[in-house]
Chain A
Amino acid sequence: MAKLFASLGHVMNMVVIYEKPREPVRVFVDFQMPHLRKGAVGRFGHVRPKAFLWGGKKYKIEKINLVFRKRRGDRYDVCFAVSDSANAFVLSYNPESLEWRLEEVQV
Chain B
Amino acid sequence: MNSYFASVEQQANPFWRGKPVGVCSTMSNRGCIIASSKEAKKVGIKTGCRVNEALQLYKDVILVEVDPPKYRSTTQAIFSLCAEYTEEIEAYSIDEAFLDLTGMVSSFDQAQVIGREIQERIKKEIGEWLGCSMGIAPTRWLAKFASDTAPKGGIVLLTKENLYKYLDGRDVQEAWGIAGAMAGRLAECRIYTLDQLARYPVQNLMSVMGKQGYYLWANVNGIELAGLEVKRPPKTIGHSHVLKRRCTDVKFNQSVLMRLAERTGRRLREQGLEAHGIYWGVQFDGHEPFQGSKKVHLPIVTTNQIFRFVWERIAPMAKIYKPGQLALALFHLRPRVNQLALFNGKKRMSRELSQAMDELNNRYGEETIVQGPLLKLHEMHAPDRIGFRKTMEAEFSGVSNQYVSDEN
- Give A contacts to B, CB under 8 Å: 7-8, 10-16, 43-48, 63-75, 78-81, 83, 87-88, 90, 93, 106
Contacts and interface: CB of A to CB of B under 8 A. Distances in A.
Interface stretch (B62-70, B102-110, B157-165, B346-354): B62-70
Interface of B: 8, 11-15, 27-29, 51, 55, 59-64, 69-70, 73-74, 76-77, 126-127, 361-366, 368, 400-406
A8 B63 contact: yes
A72 to B, nearest CB: 4
27 contacts: A10-B27, A11-B28, A11-B51, A12-B29, A12-B55, A13-B59, A13-B60, A14-B63, A15-B60, A16-B64, A46-B404, A63-B14, A64-B405, A65-B13, A66-B8, A66-B126, A67-B404, A68-B69, A68-B74, A69-B73, A71-B366, A72-B366, A79-B69, A79-B70, A80-B405, A81-B12, A88-B12
A44 B12 contact: no
Given A16-B63, A66-B70, A46 B51 contact: no
B403 A67 contact: yes
A41 to B, nearest CB: 13
B15 A83 contact: yes
**Considering residues B11, B73, B76, B366, which has the most beta carbons from chain A within 10 angstroms of its beta carbon?**
B73
B15 A73 contact: no
B69 A73 contact: no
B27 A11 contact: yes
B362 A44 contact: no
A45 B88 CA distance: 30
A44 B401 CA distance: 7
Given A11-B51, A83-B13, A65 B405 contact: yes
B402 A47 contact: yes
Given A63-B14, A65-B11, A73-B365, 16 more contacts: A16-B62, A45-B402, A46-B403, A46-B404, A64-B406, A65-B12, A65-B14, A67-B403, A69-B69, A69-B76, A72-B365, A73-B361, A73-B362, A73-B366, A81-B12, A88-B12
Nearest to B71: A68
Most A CB within 10 A of own CB, among B12, B27, B404 = B12
A43 B15 contact: no
A44 to B, nearest CB: 5
B405 A66 contact: yes
B60 A68 contact: no
A7 B64 CA distance: 10
B127 A65 contact: yes
Contacts of A67: 403-405
B70 A46 contact: no
A15 B73 contact: no
B14 A68 contact: no
A45 to B, nearest CB: 7
A43 B399 CA distance: 13
B399 to A, nearest CB: 8
A85 to B, nearest CB: 10
Which has the most chain A C-beta neighbours within 10 Å: B51, B70, B363?
B70
Given A11-B28, A68-B69, A88 B406 contact: no
Contacts of B28: 10-11
B72 to A, nearest CB: 8
Nearest to B61: A15
A66 to B, nearest CB: 4
Nearest to B270: A74
Contacts of B63: 8, 11, 14-16
Contact of B12 (A14, A66, A87, A93): A66
Contact of B402 (A46, A70, A75, A81): A46
